[in-house]
Chain A
């Protein structure tokens, strides 16, 4: 068990700076998800923790130990790769055993550890099979078992579910969360999928172009985005943004406010304007009926907006008013920072511990 600390870490490839200056502390025993669009440096961050890449500048600590010059094998870190990276010439047992053999664990103990771990991930009947003979989900389990058997301080997972089909992915998602609860080890999980990030992590690190946009528990990220990027990245459809220039009658006292935003799920579709601060006429352009929820695309004088309703009858009328409660409106400054709700926050949101 260990926390991971980044201290002014910089990573460049030749001319390109992937990570300009990263400072963060990944809490001991947390399930931290690093999420962001492709090319944001999330995999590089992960690989630097594992020691597969070396940072150009700065220090990385695992626990109290400075690991800048520690080889990957000596960091006591286990990694699950996106394509599993199972050794194709070895049986399932051989795959799990390989790291133990290299650490000179005695045979009887190896046998015991393998049996234990195979039982946990349900691989006991397959121990003598070659990875090629297994299904995607089973290979995933082998990769997990291989990582677990070493009893690492830190578990690193690089988009481990992206090669699985939707149903299996959902199942593995909850299995991973349960596994984390059982092991209590620090998990660092990289994904580009915000659903995975929100549903699995108890701490999310949102990256863009190598910079941490926000690091917070999932619901804080959703309820109190620190900036425009976070507000737009988390949530489907993304948060609606309207420039204040297009709302002359709103009369914002604070000059610094450039845009206001609201979540599609907070938008209400009505026939007449209510008492809300924000309401504007709209027409329905498009309707996606997804069962329990309906997503509307709306056309207004301030551009296209989204609205999302839950378990409500379909609205058919063409001419409507979209309105939002005062407390659901976010204000963005020119530099993209989000103000009001973040500052007005009363009590910190409680972090979900396990599923």
Chain B
């Protein structure tokens, strides 16, 4: 008995974690892949095997292709702009005075507000008739925008909200990266007649590249899954202009009850995210500098 226990103790110890992981991660993923080859309406007892029909349907569905395009546009601009702005902001406010300490805290605050509240808040601000943003534009004599109401600008309005929400967190992580650079390096560089730009390009940037790389990958994974802002602010509209992959999956799965079809879109998302994750671990081990 005791020998039996001795042998299985390690397995018993990790069992709770494994059970949770299997039950809530592995099993749903497997079930999703299984469903993606079937047609099922959530209620009927039999699931009909349809092979790759769901995927074929996706590839021919303009709405799906539009949502895929929107997701890529959203990801490209929100991640790109967030990273660049966060880097500039971090370089600017990374100073040890009380004032800049306050600024660092202030920039971070959107991160701790619920995304739902942020979405509501920005809806008010972006209201074409009564919103503060248009009022401000008018004050300075600039042309007003339709914001969320026009298919031309709706996606970019959502991108703006996403940037506003994530920039503080990104800035803080970059500041942490900047502060981990030994100050002696800059003194040595000063004695080496290095200009500010050279010091940035040859010392600062290479030293924080692991941090930046981590942030970019995390932001990519996060923005491929954008959902709450879209659900609250536009529901994918107007004219599908803000429909993204996860919102598409949600609509087909839980509004139209085409579970098999929605699952096949889910598989596509899974593939994209898996590629990003593998890329992250692969590049992290090779390309980017770690001390």
Interface-located stretch among B18-26, B41-49, B188-196: B188-196
Residues from chain A with Cβ under 8 Å of B289 in the complex = 88-89
Cα A99 to Cα B187 with chains together (Å): 12
Residues from chain A with Cβ under 8 Å of B206 in the complex = 89
A85 adjacent to B182 (CB under 8 Å): yes
Quote the shortest CB–CB distance from B197 to chain A (angstroms).
Answer: 11
Quote the shortest CB–CB distance from A83 to chain B (angstroms).
Answer: 6
Closest to B209 in A: A89
Residues from chain A with Cβ under 8 Å of B188 in the complex = 79, 81, 85-87, 146
Residues from chain A with Cβ under 8 Å of B7 in the complex = none
User: Which of A51, A87, A150 is within 8 Å of B185, CB to CB?
Assistant: A87
User: Which of B182, B185, B193 is within 8 Å of A99, CB to CB?
Assistant: B193
Contact (A87, B291) CB under 8 Å given A52-B187, A77-B191, A102-B195: no
Asked if B198 lies at the interface with its beta carbon under 8 angstroms from chain A, I say: yes
Most chain B Cβ neighbours within 10 Å, of A74, A79, A132:
A79
A50 adjacent to B184 (CB under 8 Å): no
Closest to B184 in A: A85
Residues from chain B with Cβ under 8 Å of A72 in the complex = 187, 190-191
Q: Which B residues between 155 and 212 are near A, CB-CB below 8 angstroms? A: 182, 184-185, 187-195, 198, 202-203, 206-207
A98 adjacent to B190 (CB under 8 Å): no
A102 adjacent to B207 (CB under 8 Å): no
**Contact bitstring A58-80, B, C-beta under 8 A = 1, else 0:** 00000000000001111001110
B193 adjacent to A73 (CB under 8 Å): yes
Asked if A271 lies at the interface with its beta carbon under 8 angstroms from chain B, I say: no
B184 adjacent to A73 (CB under 8 Å): no
Cα A50 to Cα B189 with chains together (Å): 12
Cα A103 to Cα B195 with chains together (Å): 10
Cα A88 to Cα B189 with chains together (Å): 12
Q: Which range holds the interface residue count of chain B?
A: 10 to 19
Cα A98 to Cα B201 with chains together (Å): 12
Cα A46 to Cα B156 with chains together (Å): 55
User: Which of B185, B194, B291 is within 8 Å of A85, CB to CB?
Assistant: B185
Residues from chain A with Cβ under 8 Å of B182 in the complex = 83, 85
**CB < 8 Å A-B pair total:** 65
Cα A286 to Cα B184 with chains together (Å): 45
Asked if A90 lies at the interface with its beta carbon under 8 angstroms from chain B, I say: yes
Closest to B194 in A: A102
Closest to A103 in B: B193
Q: Which B residues between 76 and 133 are near A, CB-CB below 8 angstroms? A: none
Cα A90 to Cα B289 with chains together (Å): 10
Residues from chain A with Cβ under 8 Å of B193 in the complex = 73-74, 99, 102-103
Contact (A98, B192) CB under 8 Å given A88-B291, A90-B202: yes
Residues from chain B with Cβ under 8 Å of A73 in the complex = 190-194
Q: Which B residues between 245 and 272 are near A, CB-CB below 8 angstroms? A: none
Closest to A97 in B: B192
**Contact bitstring B222-266, A, C-beta under 8 A = 1, else 0:** 000000000000000000000000000000000000000000000
Quote the shortest CB–CB distance from B161 to chain A (angstroms).
Answer: 36
Contact (A87, B203) CB under 8 Å given A102-B198, A132-B291: yes
Interface residues of A (CB under 8 A from B): 50-52, 71-74, 77-79, 81, 83, 85-90, 98-99, 102-103, 132, 146, 150
Interface residues of B (CB under 8 A from A): 182, 184-185, 187-195, 198, 202-203, 206-207, 289, 291
Known contacts A77-B191, A102-B192; 20 further A-B pairs (Cβ under 8 A): A50-B187, A50-B191, A72-B190, A72-B191, A73-B190, A73-B192, A73-B193, A73-B194, A79-B191, A87-B185, A87-B189, A87-B203, A89-B202, A98-B189, A98-B194, A98-B202, A99-B191, A99-B193, A146-B188, A146-B192
* Pairs A–B under 8 Å by Cβ, sample size 8: A51-B191, A72-B190, A73-B192, A74-B193, A83-B184, A85-B188, A88-B207, A102-B194
